[in-house]
Amino acid sequence: MRIAEWGDSFALFFGAMFVGLVVGFAMLAVRVALGMGHGLPQKFNSAALFGSHITLLAVLLVLVNPFHEELLVRAFLITEMGQLYRSTILAVIVSVVLQSSYHLYQGLFAAILHGSTFLVFSIYYVRTRRILPVIMAHLYMDVSALMVYSSHLGKH
Question: 103-143: per-residue pLDDT in tens?
Answer: 998 889 999 999 999 999 999 999 999 999 999 999 999 99
Residue 61, C-beta contacts closer than 8 angstroms, at least 6 positions apart: none
pLDDT at position 89 is 97
Q: How far apart are CA 84 and CA 86, in angstroms?
A: 6
Q: How far apart are CA 69 and CA 91, in angstroms?
A: 15
Alpha carbon of 7 to those of 2, 10, 121: distances in Å? 9, 5, 14
Question: Contact 146/66 with Cβ under 8 angstroms?
Answer: no
Question: 40-93: per-residue pLDDT in tens?
Answer: 555 655 555 556 678 898 899 999 999 999 999 999 999 999 999 999 999 999
Q: How far apart are CA 136 and CA 2, in angstroms?
A: 12
